[in-house]
Chain A
Amino acid sequence: MKNYDINRKRKPLSEEEIAQGQNFQSFMNAYAARPKPFYKTTTFYLSAAALGVLLAVGGYYWSTSGDSPAAQTAFVQAPIPALNPSDTVYAVDARQEGVYYFETGTQLTVPAGAFLDSAGSAVAGEVELRYREFHDPAAIFLAGIPMTYDSAGTRYHFESAGMFELTAYQNGKPLRANPNAPIKIALASNSQEDKFNVYYLDTTQRNWKYTSRDKAVLIAMQRDSSVALDSSLAGAPIAPRQADKKKPSFSIAFDPAEFPELTVYIGVRFEVDEAKTPYNRADKNVDWEDVSIARNADGKTFSVTFSKGDLKRTYVTYAVVDEGNWNNAQKTFGERFAAWKKKRDDKNALANQQQKQRERDLATADERRIFKNREALQRALTLRRANVGNDQENMVMREFVVNEFGIWNSDCKSSLPEGQELVVKILDSRSKKPIETTHVFLVEKGRNAIFTYSTSDLRTFRFNPKSENLIWAITADGKIAVAHAEALQRIAPDAKEAEITLDVATTTATSGAQAFAQLGL
């Protein structure tokens, strides 16, 4: 007798599969189009009309209200407001596409028309785009961002591969993102793992909302940064000028290695350009001790400087050839110039070919998608190198399509650490009295995760004794309290309960660096 079909290997639905069915707009369309009961009456129609009005009005308010700053601060609340990581502000022209860079190498691509006002109309003029990133537990903790996630009634804790907050304002008023022209963020991530999903913090639902699978794009850090073509070539022969017998000129010995362009001519002289430097006839009677030649920036003239003691005289000159050598010089120039031109053209052709190859090399599908051109990639790489040094082999970019302003996170879900479970009391190490706090936060060094325990959760406190653990809390008077790794290492492996003492900072931290130190980092 078989009454039931028993599935032994059915996997739970993935987040993508859940998201596939979860669409409130479709649901409401189906709800509006559901079959009507046969007992329809005028009253029913009137009620339906009223419902329609309600929907329209409600929908309008729903679509235009957005998240009020008050709602956001209620759910995302920095424990010490003064230490809340600050935003970087970009002044953006709302009608122009623009690409902006954050200090970590992150690239923000803002299309034209990316901003809407509260009425849903496109915004023109200058917009204040505010951006900040979170890459470590301390920054996340100080920003007060919740890192727990309720999915299908189960509470998980997030481990992050990088998180950011993006908001926009005009004249102090918050703007909404235009979902039809979304801002794209290529987030420079510190994790190379490919196990993360993209979540948006829905402050109305007070929960993270799964949006898509995350994809880590690896960009090789060690790239040849030279891109400029060498269009000039040193040593280009100079066209000969015939000497003018009426103008003063000098015959000077020069270093052929220094002036190869002059070695092709026999009987080269330096003729004074009297329009620039009038010749002093008395100079020809001076017994000069030294003479030097310098090529001028125009590429045609040479400055000849004579000196004797403190006396110096400089003339702008042309290299010229006397009449007897003129024909020969012209012929030589023709040959030399043709040879030089061929060499230059060959070199430029090779450089062009190399450049195109470099463009092909960089233009993987991922890179083409993220970076518009090589310069954009180069800029991101330069910032990344400045941020993390040159040791890192790859830059990892994680892509986000921002259709709502707020906090976006590349995360993977994890449960509380496996290991010892016990009942704990959190005490002040000095007074030995319980610390008045609503939550304590467990951090495993080396993991970008914060495990949040409410005070009632402390009856089933779990931690991994093999990890280097820290416990953080904020006291009622806004001071940071920390239990360092040793405090947890002292707990006996078979203990069922324990008192964990936290060192409460004697002063309230006033800077990020001070807070980091107090947090034991």
Chain B
Amino acid sequence: MTTEQKYHASSEQIRSEEAEIEAARKNPACFEVLYNRYYARILGFIYQRVASKEEAYDLTSQVFMNALENIGKYKAQGVPFSAWLFRIAINELHKYWRKNKVRQAISIDDTQVGDVLEELGEENSAETDSKLMQAMQQLAPEEIQLLEMRFFEKRPFKEICDILNISETACKARVYRLCERLKTILTSLS
């Protein structure tokens, strides 16, 4: 089943969300609108990166807890609220891996492997598949993060920039460097 990644909000939607954030600042009960709108996305994001559902539920709850506690500090400035939540989620994940001394989980299916290999100009075979798995083990956490967001989750550059708080040029350069590094590792594994 093909899906459409949506990262676009009309000015009317942005204004409407700003009003909802303002309401939640004044009255935490009003946070429900935002909680319900983004819960599934944040849970899905975290679930792909941890070992179990239970951990994902706990961390997602923590993300929204932090968001509500700090909602007074959130400044729109053209960055969607969702990107701010993903930033919190990334921070929580890093804290979780560090504190519990557990390895980061990466969830990937055959289609996503095929897409990455295609992007790298590699043939999709059992051999290259296996090499890609080995290559990923050599990547830095920041590179894995980029790989996941750009190639596994197929997020638009604009959204990745908003989440990582970097410019679009820097983001594209990082993705380019990531691909080059993966190609180099794959060659070395041959």
Contacts and interface: CB of A to CB of B under 8 A. Distances in A.
Contacts of B35: 22, 24, 27
Given A31-B65, A415-B4, 4 more contacts: A4-B103, A6-B133, A31-B28, A55-B27
A179 interface: no
Contacts of B4: 154-155, 415-416
A120 interface: no
B136 A152 contact: no
A438 B138 CA distance: 50
B81 interface: no
7 contacts: A28-B29, A31-B65, A58-B30, A59-B29, A153-B82, A205-B37, A418-B2
A439 to B, nearest CB: 13
A229 B7 CA distance: 67
Nearest to B102: A5
Contacts of B188: none
Contacts of B178: none
A430 interface: no
A154 B3 contact: yes
B51 interface: yes
A1 B138 CA distance: 8
Nearest to B155: A153
Interface string B19-60: 000000011111111011101110110011001010011001
A516 interface: no
B110 interface: yes
Interface of B: 1-7, 26-33, 35-37, 39-41, 43-44, 47-48, 51, 53, 56-57, 60-61, 64-65, 68, 82, 103-110, 133, 136-139, 144
Contacts of A28: 28-29
A256 to B, nearest CB: 79
Interface string A129-157: 00000000000000000000011111110
Contact of A54 (B27, B41, B47): B27
B99 to A, nearest CB: 16
A205 B5 CA distance: 20
A476 interface: no
A207 B40 CA distance: 13
A251 B106 CA distance: 106
A191 B60 CA distance: 37
Contact of B144 (A4, A27, A57, A150): A4
Interface string A153-181: 11110000000000000000000000000
A22 B53 contact: no
Contacts of B136: 4, 6
B65 A30 contact: yes
A7 B108 contact: yes
Interface string A4-34: 1111111011000110111010011011001
Interface string A180-224: 000000000000000000000010110101000000000000000
Given A10-B107, A22-B36, A58-B29, A152 B44 contact: yes
B41 A152 contact: yes
Tell me if A's interface is mostly helix, strand, loop or mixed: mixed
A30 B108 contact: no
Given A6-B108, A12-B44, A154-B6, A58 B61 contact: no
B156 to A, nearest CB: 11
B12 to A, nearest CB: 11
Interface string A45-83: 000000100110111001000000000000000000000
B137 A152 contact: no
Contacts of A1: 137-138
Interface in A409-425: 414-416, 418
A232 interface: no
A225 B7 CA distance: 57
A209 B2 CA distance: 22
A457 to B, nearest CB: 9
A24 B36 contact: yes
Counting chain B CB atoms within 10 Å of each CB, the highest count among A27, A204, A415, A418 belongs to A27
B152 to A, nearest CB: 11
A13 B44 contact: yes
Contacts of A57: 27
A119 B26 CA distance: 23
Contact of B32 (A13, A24, A155): A24
Given A1-B137, A4-B144, A62 B30 contact: yes
A6 B3 contact: no
Nearest to A30: B61
A34 to B, nearest CB: 6
Contact of B51 (A5, A21, A55): A5
Contact of A153 (B1, B5, B48, B138): B5
A27 B64 contact: yes
Contact of B57 (A4, A8, A21, A55): A21
A59 B32 CA distance: 11
A474 B44 CA distance: 38
